[in-house]
Amino acid sequence: MKILVTGGAGFIGTEVCRLLVSQPGIQVLNIDYLSYAANLDGIKDLSMNERYTFETGDIRDGSRITALIEMFSPTAVIHLAAESHG
């Protein structure tokens, strides 16, 4: 299963990414804008896991998100991005 997580560098997103990557057979693509609420220290150890990928990106950037979705082909999306209003 491939899961795309938005806001995965935030407080809750970090824990969700950790939980998902701990499960066999789950690949995670974490997309985060890295606003004030993000903390890369919370996910830096995940970067060593071959089933985890981090991408900096703004979910309001439709063409970037479309490209990432086409590249990753997720089976599910968990939307946790808090700063998605504009």
Mean pLDDT of the chain: 94
Task: For residues 32 and 14, give the distance between their C-alpha atoms in angstroms, rounded to a whole number.
Answer: 11
3-state helix, strand, coil in the chain (%, to 5): 35, 25, 40
Task: Quote the pTM value.
Answer: 0.93
The CATH architecture to which 2-79 belongs is 3-Layer(aba) Sandwich (3.40)
pLDDT digits (tens, 9 = 90+) for 21-54: 999 999 999 999 999 889 999 999 999 999 999 9
Query: How far is residue 12 from each of residues 42, 63, 66, measured CA to CA in Å?
Result: 11, 26, 24
Among 13, 55, 7, 71, which residue's Cα sits nearest to residue 35? 7
Q: 52 with 46: CB under 8 angstroms?
A: yes
Tell me what pLDDT residue 10 has: 94
**How is the chain split into domains, by residue range?**
2-79
Q: 83 pLDDT exceeds 90?
A: no
